[in-house]
Structure 1
Amino acid sequence: MVHVIDTKRPDLGGNMRHGDIHTWTPRLWNYLVHRFGIQTVLDVGCGEGHSVLFFHRMGLRSHGIDGLTANVERAITPIALHDLLSGPYKMPVDLVWSCEVAEHIIPEKVDNYIDSLTNGRVVAMTHALPEQGGHHHVNCQPKEYWIELMSSRGYILSEDNDIFIEISKREETWNYFSKSGLVFIRNR
């Protein structure tokens, strides 16, 4: 697979051209949609929009954003161009999905990312762990870091988070969610 990157902005891209199989969690997505009565979805850092199209095919109103122009131009479904370093994206939805984006956001701009996640009443995300290698991994943190940031915005880690991780482990291939997945619920 070929990584899509921007040589002038290394924080943008890093996703796989034609999608990364390790970001794909249809069993988990189906479970979350039915468990929480999801009707609208926002994918923050959606790459070429593969999960956006999946949710759309489930009959959900789905939208995705990505900061890399090449991803928006090659997207398999319409998505919006948005640079999280310039500010948060606003679009209230039932579910926000964000897979392997958190670690690419410099700490000085992480509030823009977190404020974009808080569009959802339910937030499902992954993050790179400390010492985890990868393209432009500048904010690899333990789960407690992300839990604290989301808590400061009125979210709690779902008491069923371990169940969600177990569901993701039943996917056809290994996936990032099974390693570092977090599901938050708006608490206020």
Structure 2
Amino acid sequence: MGVSPMLWTHMVRHWGIKSVLDVGCGRGISTAWFITHGLEFVQCVEGSHDAVLQSIVPNSTLTATAITTTTTTRKKSQEKLWDRGGRLVPSIAVWCVEFTEHVGRNFQPNYLPSFRSAALIFVTHSNWGGWHRVEVHDDEWWRVRWEAAGLVFSQSMTDEARAMAMQDLSRRDLTRHMTEDYMYFVGQHLWLSLQVFINPMVASLPRHSHLFAKHRCFGGRNDGEKIHVDCSHAKNAEGEHLTPLPESFKALNLTKEMDDACLDLIKDFKAGGWPRQGNSKNMKPMNVPESLE
């Protein structure tokens, strides 16, 4: 329910994310996606010993760039996210899904430094009970909580992220088990509760000037809609070439081969689906926001 290849692709191509700290990564599905898609740095942190033993996080040799993949079996309530040199793990983005509801706010200071080390924070919360869910609150409570910690909520990025995740709702090609007669609500945690925060103290640093990597040069119109193109392929009104961005400012190139590599890692997963009963064509998951229908 916390999986969305569409959203992850959007994060890389449109927001320019090149490194991720995955807090509460479980068996590593999201981490595996970021690694197989060539991000420059990926850190996976998980507090469940069982999840670590069953991790699918691939070896860093799968990519040409230097990648660190780390798991830890220490208790979440006691863990601070430091590297082996005693330094806080750096990243452009924190991805934190199905985690915050399991850690009491008396222990939040143990993982907040990891949030503050990143420029962008993508974090979900639970709207209902479950195993050791000790912090169950609505969107507004979490927004106030993280803003009190120094982060800035972005409504536009939150709406955009949820809409992208919603596009994966009907996918049935992620695992073999999904082709059987079950209902799956892919990305449900994301399009229901994902919130996006900006950390200005980090996002404003020169090394993060490449963020928000949409093409920036005007390329005409298509059916009345403006088209933006890579400035390397654009000219001004006088026919002169425009100044292109350095390669380091461009988003990472994603390929179908990368998608296939990730799908190969998760193809045998058996996630929780609901057996279909009667005519289910018109059925939809509970609590779908009207704005996303």
Same structural fold, with TM-score higher than 0.5 when normalized by the shorter chain? yes
Q: What residue identity is the alignment partner of 2:106? A: E
1:66-114 Cα distance to aligned partner (Å, 9 max, x none): 1112222221125310433114313110111011111000121122233
**Aligned match of 2:76:** 84
Deviation at 1:151, TM superposition (A): 1.6
Give 1:116's aligned residue.
114
TM normalised by structure 2 equals 0.53
- Percent sequence identity over aligned pairs: 27
Match of 1:151 in 2: 147
* Root-mean-square deviation over aligned CA pairs: 1.6
Aligned to 2:44: 64
Partners of 1:31 and 1:47 in 2: CA distance: 22
Q: Decide which structure has greater strand share.
A: 1
**Following superposition of structure 1 onto structure 2, how do residues 48-63 of structure 1 map, counting pairs within 5 Å?**
48-60=27-39, 61-63=41-43
Counterpart secondary structure, 1:137? coil
Q: Which runs of 5+ in 2 are unaligned?
A: 58-68, 82-87, 172-185, 202-293
Query: Contact conserved, 1:46 with 1:65, CA < 8 A, in 2?
Result: yes
Give the 4+ runs in structure 1 shifted more than 3 A: none
SS in 1 for 2:107: helix
Structure 1 gaps, min length 5: 1-21
**Structure 1 residues 162 and 184: CA distance shift in structure 2, 3 A:** same
Compared CA separation, residues 97 and 117, structure 1 to 2 (3 A): same
TM-score (norm 1): 0.81
Aligned equivalents of 2:37, 2:25: Cα separation in 1:
17
Match of 2:161 among 156, 164, 167: 164
Structure showing greater radius of gyration is 2
Contact 2:45 2:71 in 1 (8 A): yes
1:185 pairs, out of 198, 201, 204, with 198
Name the residue aligned to 1:127. Answer: 125
Q: How many residue pairs end up in the alignment?
A: 165
- Which residue pairs with 1:18 in the alignment? none
Mapped partners of 2:154, 2:45: distance in 1: 25
Give the Cα–Cα distance (whole angstroms) in 2 for the partners of residues 114 and 148 of structure 1: 14
Partner of 1:14: none
Q: Does 1:41 align with 2:41?
A: no
Q: Distance in 2 between matches of 1:40 and 1:59?
A: 9
Letter in 1 for 2:145: L
Distance 1:83 1:31, change over 3 A: same
Instruction: Tell me, yes or no, if structure 1 residue 175 matches structure 2 residue 172.
Output: no
Q: CA separation in 2, counterparts of 1:114 and 1:145?
A: 16
Q: 1:29 and 2:8 equivalent?
A: yes
CA contact (8 A) 1:114 1:150 kept: no
CA distance in structure 1 between the partners assigned to 2:90 and 2:32 by the alignment: 19
> Corresponding residue for 2:274?
none
**Which aligned pairs between 1:97-112 and structure 2 lie closer than 5 A?**
97-112=95-110
Do structure 1's residue 138 and structure 2's residue 134 form an aligned pair? yes
